[in-house]
Amino acid sequence: MSGSPNAPAGRPVPLRVLPTAAAVALSLTVAACSSPGAPPPPTSAAPPQTATANAGGLTLENAQPLPIPPRPDIFPPPAPPAPPVFRAPTLMTAPDLPQISVGPSPAAPAMPEGAPPVPPSNRPAAFPPPDRTQTAALPPPTPKAPTAPALPRMEPLTVLFDGAATTLPDPAQARLDAIAERMTANPQLRLQIRSYASGTPDTAREARQLSLARALAVRERLGTAGIASTRVDIRAMGMEAASGAPDRLDVEFLNQ
């Protein structure tokens, strides 16, 4: 018997004992065995287990320790530093300019009576400053080199070919020698060769190749006379002769 805070004073309260799961299971087993005609309880070779273990309750064997919570931080974090305070610079006032008064030059102090006269200065008299202006001397004029007399303009050279020939005729050889002499005398001259060849629409390719071979023959002839190939422009026209003989070659100066 025990007292209860809710019981009236001076009256005992009976102590109630709650049955456990093991007691309930044991009572049920005893009741089943005591009933008539009931089969005997099954036996097992395994060791008996308590009702508490079968029910999955908490026992001393399966109890796990609780994790220890971390220690609270008893020291508060430091406060962030205060932002710097902007202080405006103090403006300074410029001092007033001094007042300068320009007056007459003071007179030389008077010499005392009986003082010897001051000897004149030994420095030579001031001369006017020398004239520092200089005249640049111009270089003597360079004598001009005698200019070569202008050569007469050379007319374009036209060379006619017979059929599919690529050899230059003899009259054209003499004219090419004169052109080479003109180009040797003036290294700035450039030459252009336009070559044509006859043919049909089916032989247009062969006609262009034939015109190119004739132009190359002329350039090689000039090369033997000392004329660089870079000064000779070649244009193989093929069957594009608008007028004149279809099998010909025109040699003309570009900057005569």
pLDDT at 52: 43
Q: Nearest 5°: phi and psi at 159? A: -115, 125
Burial 52-65 (b: 16+ CB within 10 A, else e): beeeeeeeeeeeee
pLDDT at 63: 84
pLDDT at 53: 44
pLDDT at 115: 72
pLDDT at 114: 73
In angstroms, the CA 184 to CA 56 distance is: 122
Please give the structure tokens belonging to residue 69: 């919570």
pLDDT at 28: 60
Residues of the chain with pLDDT under 50: 1-2, 4, 7, 13, 15, 17-18, 44-54
In angstroms, the CA 222 to CA 212 distance is: 16
Overall pTM > 0.75: no
pLDDT at 190: 92
pLDDT at 207: 93
**30-52 pLDDT per residue, tens:** 555 555 555 555 554 444 444 44
pLDDT at 216: 93
Burial 79-112 (b: 16+ CB within 10 A, else e): eeeeeeeeeeeeeeeeeeeeeeeeeeeeeeeeee
pLDDT at 215: 93
CATH of domain 157-253: 3.30.1330.60
